[in-house]
């Protein structure tokens, strides 16, 4: 690491207690911004502390990192409030260079969704995402709904079934092809989110002409958010390929 991370600055984007971002700034010139979106099947019991070490590590490597908290199911979240919050949080990005969304599990869903959000009137305008890194992301909401992934997590998030038009707005699988590259990091032995969520997305995206790649990692579902692991180093290595 070439830079030391500073203490984060708390920014708010709404009046709800969950509408905030911690911004970690590098000590030197920023390479760009990574927006860190935590997972937890969109449930209120999981919070942004899952992303704080990732954001600090990224800032130490020269990135401006935004660790995002947002309304989740159980504290005012769900469709569309959770999506509104991610849109607003990304719009706090202030600086030059690439804007990368990095999300784990349900956060991988939101990170990938964010790259398509401006297609829709509900989230038009604002800061554009230039690259996506999905860490074991839930990228096919329809199949996740049908498979009862996370004990009905998608049902709780959406409040409706896949035939409802809301899924057209919310499901990354329905947004291919994206105009930006997507890297899907996933472990074959992930027992929380099956690797098919990533592999099926990448297949659909590449067949549609998009730039998307599946990167298999080790360590199940959680090594991707442990900065001491090989899986996290693979995230860092991908970020190093992005030109400022």
Q: Residue 167's domain is classified under what CATH number?
A: 3.40.50.1820
Q: What is the pTM of this model?
A: 0.96
81-90 and 106-114 helices, crossing angle to 10°:
60
Whether the pLDDT of residue 244 is over 90: the answer is no
Domain membership of residue 3 (yes or no) is no
Tell whether the model's pLDDT for residue 172 goes beyond 50: yes
**Domain-located, residue 132:** yes
244 located within any domain: no
Per-residue pLDDT at 159 exceeds 90: yes
Number of folded domains that form the chain? 1
Residue 1 lies in a domain: no
In terms of residue numbers, what domain contains 183?
9-239
Asked if the model's pLDDT at residue 237 lies above 70, the reply is yes
Q: Phi and psi dihedrals of 164, rounded to 5?
A: -75, 145
Quick check: is 140 in a domain? Answer: yes
Average pLDDT, the chain: 96
pLDDT, mean of residues 7-23: 97
- Whether 1 shows a pLDDT value over 60: the answer reads no
Whether 222 is in a domain gets the answer yes
**Strands across the sheet with 20-24, in order?**
9-12, 20-24, 64-69, 33-37, 99-104, 131-135, 182-186, 212-216
Question: What is the average pLDDT across 102-111?
Answer: 98
What is the spatial distance between Cα 102 and Cα 234, in angstroms, rounded to a whole number? 13
The answer to the question of residue 208 being in a domain is: yes
2 located within any domain: no
């Amino acid at each position: 690491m070439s830079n030391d991370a500073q203490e984060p600055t708390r920014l708010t984007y709404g009046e709800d207690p969950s509408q905030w971002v911690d911004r970690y700034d590098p000590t030197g010139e920023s390479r760009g911004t990574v927006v860190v979106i935590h997972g937890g099947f969109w449930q209120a019991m999981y919070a942004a502390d899952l992303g704080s070490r990732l954001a600090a590590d990224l800032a130490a490597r020269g990135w401006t990192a935004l660790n995002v908290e947002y309304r989740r199911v159980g504290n005012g979240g769900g469709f569309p409030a959770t999506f509104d919050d991610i849109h607003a949080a990304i719009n706090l990005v202030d600086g030059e260079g690439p804007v990368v969304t990095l999300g784990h599990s349900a956060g991988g869903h939101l990170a990938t969704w964010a790259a398509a959000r401006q297609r829709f009137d509900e989230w038009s305008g604002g800061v554009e995402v230039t690259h996506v890194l999905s860490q074991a992301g839930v990228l096919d909401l329809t199949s996740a709904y049908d498979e009862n992934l996370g004990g009905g997590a998608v049902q709780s998030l959406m409040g409706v079934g896949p035939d409802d038009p809301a899924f057209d707005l919310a499901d990354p699988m329905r947004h291919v092809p994206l105009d930006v590259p997507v890297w899907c990091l996933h472990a074959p032995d992930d027992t929380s989110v099956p690797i098919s969520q990533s592999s099926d997305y990448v297949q659909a995206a590449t067949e549609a002409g998009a730039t998307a790649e599946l990167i298999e990692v080790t360590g199940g579902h959680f090594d991707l958010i442990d900065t001491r692991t090989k899986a996290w180093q693979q995230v860092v290595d991908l970020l190093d390929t992005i030109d400022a």
